[in-house]
Chains A and B, each alone.
Chain A
Amino acid sequence: MKDGLSRRQLLVRAGVIGCSVAASPLITPMSFAQAPWDRRLVVIILRGGMDGLDVVRPVGDPAYAPLRPGLRTEGAQDLDGYFALHPALAGLMPLWSKGELGFVHAVSTPYRDKRSHFDGQDLLEAGTVDLGQGARDGWLNRLLQEVPGVERDTAYAIGTTPLPVLDGSAPVAKWAPEANLKISPQTMRLAERVMEEDPALHAALAEAALLAENGRDGKGGRAHRQIASYAAGRLRQDARIAAFSLGGWDTHRAQDRVLPRSLATLQEAILTLRDGLGADVWGKTAILAMTEFGRTARENGAGGTDHGTGGLAILAGGAVRGGRVNGDWPGLAESALYQRRDLMPTRDVRAVAAWVMRGITGVNRDVLENKVFPGLHMGSDPGLLA
Chain B
Amino acid sequence: MKTGTYYLVRKAGSGDDMGFSPHLAERRFGYGRSPSIAPPENIAGMLGRLRGKDLMAERFPVPGFRQLQDGHVVKARFDAFARKKATTPEQAAEAREKSDEIEQRFRHQQLETFAQQQLRRIHSKDNFRERLVDFWSDHFTAQGKSGLLKLAIPAYVEEAVRPHVSGRFVDMLSACITHPVMLEYLDQSTSVGPNSKRGRRKGNRRGLNENLARELLELHTLGVGAAYSQTDVRQMAELLTGLTRTRDYSFVFRKGWAEPGAETVLGKTYSDQPGMQPIRNALSDLAMHPSTARHLAGKLAVHFISDTPTERTIGRLTRTYLDSDGDLMAVYEALLNDPAAWDSPPTNIRPPLEYMSTALRALAVPPDRFAALTPKETLRWFLRPLKIMGQDWDRVSGPDGWPETDAAWVTPQGVAARLDWAMNVPARLLDDLPDPQQMLQDIVGPDATDALKFAASAAETQAVGVGLILISPALQRR
A residues sitting closer than 8 Å to B (CB atoms) are 26, 113-114, 116-119, 122, 131-132, 134, 136, 160-162, 164, 167, 173-176, 178-184, 186-187, 190-191, 193-198, 200-201, 204-205, 207-208, 210-212, 253, 300-302
Residues 387-438 (chain B) with a chain A CB within 8 angstroms: 387-388, 390, 392, 395, 397-398, 400, 406-407, 410-417, 419-420, 423-424
> Number of contacting residues on B, CB 8 A?
61
Answer whether residue B96 sits at the interface, using C-beta atoms and an 8 A cutoff.
yes
Smallest CB-CB separation from A206: which chain B residue? B412
Contact in complex: B397, A164 (CB < 8 Å)? yes
How far apart sit A180 and B419, CA to CA, in the bound complex (Å)?
Answer: 10
Taking the closest CB of chain A, its distance from the CB of B177, in whole angstroms, is 15
A136-B398, A187-B459 given; A196·B451 CB < 8 A = yes
Chain A residues, Cβ within 8 Å of B224 = 134
Could you say which of A116, A211, A212 contacts B145, with CB atoms under 8 Å apart? A116
How far apart sit A193 and B458, CA to CA, in the bound complex (Å)?
Answer: 11
Could you say which of A181, A193, A211 contacts B451, with CB atoms under 8 Å apart? A193
How far apart sit A160 and B397, CA to CA, in the bound complex (Å)?
Answer: 13
Could you say which of A117, A160, A195, A210 contacts B473, with CB atoms under 8 Å apart? A195
Contact in complex: A190, B458 (CB < 8 Å)? yes
Contact in complex: A134, B218 (CB < 8 Å)? yes
Taking the closest CB of chain A, its distance from the CB of B465, in whole angstroms, is 9
Contact in complex: A116, B412 (CB < 8 Å)? no
Chain A residues, Cβ within 8 Å of B467 = 187
A116-B146, A197-B1 given; A208·B412 CB < 8 A = yes
How far apart sit A253 and B459, CA to CA, in the bound complex (Å)?
Answer: 52
Contact in complex: B460, A184 (CB < 8 Å)? yes
Per-position binary interface string of chain B over residues 434-478, scored 1 when its CB falls under 8 Å from any chain A CB and 0 otherwise: 000000000000000101101100111000100110011100110
Chain A residues, Cβ within 8 Å of B455 = 190-191, 193-194
Taking the closest CB of chain B, its distance from the CB of A241, in whole angstroms, is 17
Contact in complex: A117, B419 (CB < 8 Å)? no
Could you say which of A116, A160, A205 contacts B387, with CB atoms under 8 Å apart? A160
A114-B190, A179-B388, A183-B423 given; A204·B414 CB < 8 A = yes
Chain B residues, Cβ within 8 Å of A301 = 82-84, 86, 92
Chain A residues, Cβ within 8 Å of B84 = 301
Taking the closest CB of chain A, its distance from the CB of B145, in whole angstroms, is 4
Could you say which of B411, B420, B477 contacts A180, with CB atoms under 8 Å apart? B420
Per-position binary interface string of chain B over residues 366-399, scored 1 when its CB falls under 8 Å from any chain A CB and 0 otherwise: 0000000000000000001001101010010110
At the interface with chain A, which of B33-41, B208-216, B263-271? B208-216
Task: List, sorted by A's number, 27 A–B pairs whose CB atoms are closer than 8 Å.
Answer: A116-B145, A132-B209, A132-B211, A160-B384, A160-B388, A174-B411, A176-B413, A179-B388, A179-B416, A180-B416, A181-B416, A182-B420, A183-B419, A187-B423, A187-B459, A190-B455, A190-B464, A190-B468, A197-B1, A197-B2, A197-B451, A197-B473, A200-B410, A204-B410, A204-B411, A204-B412, A253-B96
Chain B residues, Cβ within 8 Å of A190 = 455, 458-459, 464, 468
Chain A residues, Cβ within 8 Å of B390 = 162, 174
Contact in complex: B397, A205 (CB < 8 Å)? no
Contact in complex: A208, B415 (CB < 8 Å)? yes
How far apart sit A119 and B209, CA to CA, in the bound complex (Å)?
Answer: 14
Q: Which 8 A-B pairs have the closest CB atoms?
A: A208-B412, A208-B416, A207-B412, A118-B145, A132-B211, A204-B415, A198-B473, A190-B455
Known contacts A178-B388, A180-B420, A197-B1, then 14 further A-B pairs from the complex at CB < 8 Å, ordered by chain A residue: A116-B146, A132-B211, A134-B224, A160-B392, A161-B387, A167-B397, A187-B423, A194-B451, A195-B472, A197-B473, A201-B410, A204-B414, A208-B413, A212-B416
Chain B residues, Cβ within 8 Å of A136 = 398, 400
Chain A residues, Cβ within 8 Å of B412 = 26, 173-175, 204-205, 207-208, 210-211
How far apart sit A69 and B398, CA to CA, in the bound complex (Å)?
Answer: 40
How far apart sit A194 and B450, CA to CA, in the bound complex (Å)?
Answer: 9
Contact in complex: A132, B419 (CB < 8 Å)? no
Chain B residues, Cβ within 8 Å of A200 = 406-407, 410
Taking the closest CB of chain B, its distance from the CB of A155, in whole angstroms, is 14
Contact in complex: A201, B476 (CB < 8 Å)? yes
How far apart sit A130 and B176, CA to CA, in the bound complex (Å)?
Answer: 24
Smallest CB-CB separation from A204: which chain B residue? B415
How far apart sit A190 and B424, CA to CA, in the bound complex (Å)?
Answer: 16
Chain A residues, Cβ within 8 Å of B82 = 301-302
Chain B residues, Cβ within 8 Å of A197 = 1-2, 449, 451, 473
Contact in complex: B415, A201 (CB < 8 Å)? yes
Chain B residues, Cβ within 8 Å of A182 = 420, 424
Taking the closest CB of chain B, its distance from the CB of A196, in whole angstroms, is 6
Chain A residues, Cβ within 8 Å of B187 = 119, 131-132
Taking the closest CB of chain B, its distance from the CB of A258, in whole angstroms, is 13
Contact in complex: A201, B420 (CB < 8 Å)? no
Smallest CB-CB separation from A253: which chain B residue? B96
Chain A residues, Cβ within 8 Å of B415 = 201, 204-205, 208
Chain A residues, Cβ within 8 Å of B400 = 136
Contact in complex: A187, B398 (CB < 8 Å)? no
Smallest CB-CB separation from A254: which chain B residue? B96
How far apart sit A200 and B211, CA to CA, in the bound complex (Å)?
Answer: 37
Taking the closest CB of chain A, its distance from the CB of B50, in whole angstroms, is 31
Chain B residues, Cβ within 8 Å of A173 = 412
A136-B398, A183-B419, A183-B423 given; A302·B471 CB < 8 A = no
Chain A residues, Cβ within 8 Å of B424 = 182
Smallest CB-CB separation from A306: which chain B residue? B83
How far apart sit A190 and B463, CA to CA, in the bound complex (Å)?
Answer: 13
Chain A residues, Cβ within 8 Å of B452 = 194
How far apart sit A114 and B211, CA to CA, in the bound complex (Å)?
Answer: 14
How far apart sit A187 and B210, CA to CA, in the bound complex (Å)?
Answer: 53
